[in-house]
A and B are shown apart, each in its own frame.
Chain A
Amino acid sequence: MAGVRLLGLTKRFGAVAAVDNLNVEFPDAQVTCLLGPSGCGKTTLLRMIAGLEQPSGGQIFFDHDEVGEWSASRRNVGMVFQSPVVYPGLTVYDNVALPLRGTLPEAELRQRVGEVLELVELQAVAERKADSLGNAERQKVSVARAVARRPRVLLFDEPVTNIAAGERVTLKRAFKRLTTEVRLTLVYVTHDQTEAMTLADYIAVMRDGKLVQYGPPRSVYRAPRDRFVGWFLGNPGMNFVEIGAPGEDGGSLFSGAGPQLKAPAMVGFRPEYVEVLSDPEPASIEARVMRAPITVGGQHLLTLKAGDTTFKAKTDYRQTYATGQTVYVKIPADQLRWFDPAREELSPPVPGDAE
């Protein structure tokens, strides 16, 4: 296994920069999820690391080896694609064993393949033809083939996107097991944040070819560096309220909570941290329920309006809400994030600025 370091990595297609001057290090033996909306360049980045795409500029290091000029076969990476790739006509066992043939003695090969098949729970179908399996199991075969070689870096490109929803769970469980039981340098591309949150040691959020934020899932989630990350992570994303000046607009909602506002500010807060009360409490404000559909997990996703400010809140399933109902909301001050409204970036808390 090896860490992956990217230095000024760039890929242009014509005038468009799919990946734009990326500098980042994906640590050894950790799972890094590349997260971002479709077309943000994450797949292109992965393909460059794999050696399937030539960078327009910049360098790629595996530990201390600069691999930019190396062919895909020399880089010793394991790649899993969106659509499962199995070699037709071969059994599951042979599919996994094929790249190892000639590199290992037979006994060792047998053991290695057996271990990996066990890890992804495919022992039962080891002697079946790989192309006779369903999509999820085929994908497991391609994962097993990539892992069995013990590559320096494993690269997964949205491996569950083309799998039927019902089968995804088994596949994700297999990935989780894989990442907890084997120490892997895994770069995992996804646009599904739940996947990223459950698998990743580190998350790299990309947008328009640029790396927006990089860090452990929890800290990225709690302190999004800009409005985009806040909106993109979370379901639904962060609420943002622009405050013209103290006391104006929804200002009352956050009065006294933030730094002393000298200029217009933007505050962000996650819907799940909004406390919705049926009776007024100190520091709560009145809001009206605009819509109250039920979400996955049975929670209510309320759209609330306080003054001119509309925002979302996630609440307990036990309460019921009617449209038009009046409720009282409170947002814990430590859950508010302050953004610079012009650049839409997180304002670092300045000591002494907060009261």
Chain B
Amino acid sequence: MRPKLKTRLQQGFLWLVAVAFFLPVLWIFLAAFKTAGQILAVPPSWIFRPTLQGLTYMASHQAFWTHALNSVVISLSAVVLAIIVSFVAAYSFSRFRLRGTDFMMFVLLSIRMVPGAAVVVPMYLMYTALGWINTYPGIILFYTMFSIPFSVWILKGFIDGVSPRFDEAAQSDGASRLHVMFRIVLPQVLPGIVAAFIFNTIFVWNEFLFDFIIGGNQVATIPVALASGLYTSQGIDWQYIASLTFVYTLPLMVVIYFFQKYLLVGMTFGTVRGEV
């Protein structure tokens, strides 16, 4: 009996920690269903009648639709582009094993080791010179570049796991290199593609700094919208922020919940195999 009690206490404690971490998220989610008055009520109102007032209020703003659409379009197109490029790159790294492949892989990843704040000013100057500030292609290409390193790493791990004999057999069977890549190897690394997709979608979806600096009104995404442009004459519009945060976070949480296992293989760069 005793050890059982102990286990239960431990589990209870872990739940407590988990809930504590989730509390701020829960709070902002609950706030999305409160009236403006209830959000800032002191003491906080835990029990309230949920209302869709906040969400309809948000939906009535034209800006919300622009930002949401920007977030979706920019994240998805950047990540899809990045994965296409990364798959081809990872295939080449995996199969042609040129001298210095490991070093090139390292250099690639080092792009992501540099803190954003350190490169944002040069990026801004470059983008100004190119006239890419506040354009869709500009920001999409940036996020594509931003997503490539991790995708290449994840996908190379997976492609390494596919025996080159598949390539050779298919080539002897008359297949072209492109056919081998997309019809023979690609289907076998789908878990890696999903992992890379989710990983980078999370990164890009949440990215704020670069969209804020090298983007602009036209291409502002939800994170930028959350941080700016919400100051009304009455102060910060918490109702809008709560609703926006809710709508913005929910899809990502749902996706992650259902694709957890892919996230795990992605984090290990495909070295934990067989579970997917």
Contact = CB atoms under 8 A, between A and B. Distances in A.
Contacts of B165: 81, 83, 85
A73 B163 contact: no
A166 B171 CA distance: 31
A99 interface: yes
A145 interface: yes
Contacts of B170: 87, 99
Nearest to B162: A88
Contacts of A88: 187-188
A71 B171 contact: yes
User: Which of B168, B170, B172, B188 neighbours the largest number of chain A CB atoms within 10 Å of its CB?
Assistant: B172
A253 interface: no
Interface string B28-49: 0000000000000000000000
B173 interface: yes
A83 B163 contact: yes
A277 to B, nearest CB: 54
A145 B163 contact: no
B188 to A, nearest CB: 6
A50 interface: yes
Interface string A66-79: 00000111011111
Given A85-B163, A87-B184, A79 B168 contact: yes
Those 8 A-B pairs whose CB atoms lie nearest each other, nearest first: A99-B173, A79-B172, A85-B169, A72-B171, A81-B165, A73-B174, A85-B165, A52-B168
Given A85-B163, A88-B188, A89-B187, A149 B173 contact: yes
Contact of A99 (B163, B174, B187, B188): B174
A50 B175 CA distance: 13
A75 B175 CA distance: 11
Nearest to B168: A52
Contact of B173 (A51, A89, A98, A155): A98
A146 B172 contact: yes
B163 A50 contact: no
A270 to B, nearest CB: 38
B175 A73 contact: yes
B176 interface: yes
Interface SS of chain B: helix
B253 to A, nearest CB: 31
Nearest to B176: A73
B106 interface: no
Contacts of A145: 169, 173
User: Which of B163, B173, B176 neighbours the largest number of chain A CB atoms within 10 Å of its CB?
Assistant: B173
A79 B184 CA distance: 16
Contacts of A71: 171
For the side of the interface on A, what is the size category? 20 to 34
Interface of B: 163, 165-166, 168-176, 184, 187-188
Contacts of B168: 50, 52, 72, 79, 81
26 contacts: A50-B168, A51-B171, A52-B168, A72-B168, A72-B171, A72-B172, A73-B171, A73-B173, A73-B174, A73-B176, A76-B174, A77-B172, A79-B172, A81-B165, A83-B163, A85-B163, A87-B166, A87-B170, A87-B184, A89-B187, A99-B173, A99-B174, A146-B172, A149-B173, A149-B174, A151-B172
Contacts of B169: 79, 81, 85, 142, 145
A148 to B, nearest CB: 10
Nearest to A77: B172
User: Which of B166, B170, B187, B188 neighbours the largest number of chain A CB atoms within 10 Å of its CB?
Assistant: B170
A87 B170 CA distance: 9
A121 to B, nearest CB: 21
A155 B173 CA distance: 12
A151 to B, nearest CB: 8
B187 A78 contact: no
Interface in A40-85: 50-52, 71-73, 75-79, 81, 83, 85
Contacts of A85: 163, 165-166, 169
A187 to B, nearest CB: 13
A149 B170 CA distance: 12
Given A50-B168, A73-B174, 5 more contacts: A51-B172, A72-B168, A72-B172, A99-B175, A155-B172
A87 B173 CA distance: 12
Contacts of A149: 173-174
Contacts of A73: 171-176
A107 to B, nearest CB: 21
